[in-house]
Amino acid sequence: QEVLAAEMERTFIAIKPDGVQRGLISEIITRFERKGFKLVGIKIMVPSNGFAQKHYHGLKERPFFNGLCNFLSSGPVVAMVWEGEGVIRYGRKLIGTDPQKSEPGTIRGDLAVVLGRNVIHGSDGPETAKDEISLWFKPEELVSYTNNAEKWIY
Give the residue among 142, 119, 125, 141 at the shortest CA–CA distance from 14: 119
Residue 16 annotated as binding site: yes
Binds ligand RTP by CB under 6 A, chosen from 85, 110, 124, 141 = 124
Binds ligand RTP by CB under 6 A, chosen from 97, 131, 141, 150 = 97
Q: Which residues are catalytic?
A: 121
Site for ligand RTP in 55-74 (CB under 6 A): 59, 64, 68
**Closest separation between CB of residue 136 and ligand RTP, Å?**
14
Contact partners, residue 94, CB within 8 Å, separation at least 6? 31, 32, 35, 106, 107, 122
**Residue 118 binds to ligand RTP (criterion: CB under 6 A):** yes
**Closest separation between CB of residue 150 and ligand RTP, Å?**
26
**Closest separation between CB of residue 92 and ligand RTP, Å?**
7
Binds ligand RTP by CB under 6 A, chosen from 86, 105, 116, 125 = 116
- Is-contact 35 94, C-beta < 8 A? yes
**Residue 126 binds to ligand RTP (criterion: CB under 6 A):** no
Residues that bind ligand RTP (CB under 6 A): 59, 64, 68, 97, 115-116, 118, 121-122, 124
